[in-house]
Amino acid sequence: MDVARLLGTRWLPVALYLVLIFVLSSIPGFKMPGYILFKDKLVHAVEYAGLGWLVHRAVLGTWPAAGAYARMVGSLAAIALFGVADEIYQAGTPGRDSSIFDWMADLLGASLGLLVGLAVEQRRARRWT
């Protein structure tokens, strides 16, 4: 696969999703409607689960020979750094708050997204052997 195609099919969705997260973080006082206990943490987890899945897909397409453990740890570390940057950015947005608990929800969601990606990868590998 050539570099331009790899970037377009694997990393462009990741980049667009990162932009979407920052756009949502930029909305002053943005709150999801309805009442669900810990709704904000659930939103963080779901949002970052999508990011985790997209990052897994991109990393697998870029470094297929790397071990699953190395890909997972590297991906989670990168997403964790992005989550910190997002929380710091959000702290400066009027009407928004930033907390370590939001970041922890981000990491939980990212971990789930990465694990789903790994499970799909392993299922496909078993199907072809």
Q: Decide if 89 contacts 25 (C-beta within 8 A).
A: yes
pTM value > 0.85: yes
> Can you give the pLDDT at residue 97?
83
Is there a contact between 114 and 72 (Cβ–Cβ < 8 Å)? yes
Structural domain boundaries enclosing 123? 3-127
Q: Are 87 and 103 in contact (CB under 8 A)?
A: yes
Amino acid 40: pLDDT: 86
pLDDT at 100: 96
Contact 125, 63 (CB under 8 A): no
* Average pLDDT per consecutive 10 residues, the chain (129 residues; last block may be shorter): 74 96 86 69 95 97 92 97 95 89 97 96 80
8: nearest Cα among 58, 60, 51, 56: 58
Q: Domain tally for the chain? A: 1
